[in-house]
Amino acid sequence: MGKTMIKASREAIEDGMEFLGSELNSFNIPRRDKTMAMLAAEESMVKLIDHHDSSAPILILTYQKGASVFIKLATVGEEFDFYNSLSDEPDPESSYMSDYHGLEAVLRNVVLTASKKRIKYINKDHQNIITIVIKRSLLSAFL
């Protein structure tokens, strides 16, 4: 099990991603699954940062349970609508597509929508928690 805390800022996401990369390597995750989990984690961190309390850091936790590996991201903050903010398809006619931040949000939603089956969001006791599940075959779990 690995654990670290990062400052809840976009600048600190890189530190969190470095930690996750080395942690997932230690779990022997296939490259495709690792890449998808890393993309989902990065975009989930952005959502947590956008909805956190000003002084709260982000906890990043990795652990294995059976054949699955879990990434847990948590920070203090108000509940937000994680799932309903993910559209199935971006609207290319929307005016925000010409805005860099709007385009970034669309891409974030595409990544998170593609990973929707692996991501669970809850707000418990004023804490936003995102769990990303990486399922592995039983054979790869023990190699």
Q: Is the pLDDT of residue 139 over 50?
A: no
How many angstroms separate the CA atoms of 38 and 21, rounded?
A: 7
Three-state secondary-structure class, residue 68: strand
What integer pLDDT is reported at residue 89 of this predicted model? 45
What integer pLDDT is reported at residue 93 of this predicted model? 54
Backbone angles phi, psi at 64, to 5 degrees: -115, 140
How many angstroms separate the CA atoms of 9 and 24, rounded?
A: 22
How many angstroms separate the CA atoms of 45 and 6, rounded?
A: 10
- 109 domain residue, yes or no: yes
Question: What is residue 95's DSSP assignment?
Answer: G
- 66 domain residue, yes or no: yes
Q: How many domains is the chain partitioned into structurally?
A: 1
- 143 domain residue, yes or no: no
Q: What is the percentage of the chain residues whose pLDDT exceeds 90?
A: 50
CATH number of the domain where residue 11 is located: 3.30.565.10
What integer pLDDT is reported at residue 96 of this predicted model? 47
Q: Is the pLDDT of residue 140 over 60?
A: no
- 24 domain residue, yes or no: yes
- 56 domain residue, yes or no: yes
pLDDT greater at residue 81 or residue 42: 42
Q: Are the beta carbons of 5 and 72 closer than 8 angstroms?
A: no
What are the tens digits of pLDDT across the range 99-124?
555 667 777 777 777 778 899 999 99
What are the tens digits of pLDDT across the range 51-81?
888 788 999 999 999 889 999 999 999 998 8
The candidate with the shortest Cα–Cα distance to 56, out of 137, 139, 127, is: 127
Question: Which residue segment(s) compose the domain that 113 sits in?
Answer: 2-138
Rounded to two decimals, what is the model's pTM? 0.80
Q: pLDDT category, 97, cuts 50, 70, 90?
A: very low
- 11 domain residue, yes or no: yes
Q: For residue 104, count other CB atoms closer than 10 A to its CB.
A: 12
